[in-house]
């Protein structure tokens, strides 16, 4: 079953649970800052392992110690609950 696209109000409400994330260009997005490139890459590899396991892959931009994740759900043409699950999981992996 394809995930359900959330309404704008639902997205706004769900963002309250992951307050460091924001809406940007039809995706939800967060930039994490680490102490250096090696720490950033360790996070990226944790994200990659998770993404492959749940088969839901964010866009990942690495700029030395900064990692930006952007995610939406192609199957529903918007933002779904899956994106917020990934956002919360990524927050948990960033510490």
**Contact positions toward a second copy, by CB under 8 A?**
37-38, 41, 44-45, 48, 51-52, 57, 59-64
Which one, 14 or 78, has the nearer CB to a second copy?
78
| Separation of CA 42 from chain center | 16
Angle CA(79)–CA(67)–CA(88) in degrees, nearest 5? 45
Nearest approach in angstroms of CB 84 to a second copy is 20
Beta strands 27-33 and 22-24, pairing class:
antiparallel
Nearest approach in angstroms of CB 16 to a second copy is 28
Element (H, E) at 90: helix 81-93
Which one, 11 or 41, has the nearer CB to a second copy?
41
């Amino acid at each position: 079953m394809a995930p359900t696209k959330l309404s704008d109000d639902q997205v706004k409400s769900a963002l309250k649970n992951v307050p460091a994330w924001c809406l940007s260009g039809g995706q939800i997005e967060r930039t994490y800052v680490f102490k250096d490139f090696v720490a950033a890459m360790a996070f990226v590899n944790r994200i990659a392992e998770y993404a492959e396991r749940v088969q839901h892959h964010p866009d990942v931009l690495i700029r030395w110690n900064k990692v930006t994740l952007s995610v939406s759900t192609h199957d529903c043409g918007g933002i779904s609950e899956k994106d917020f699950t990934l956002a919360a999981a990524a927050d948990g992996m960033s510490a």
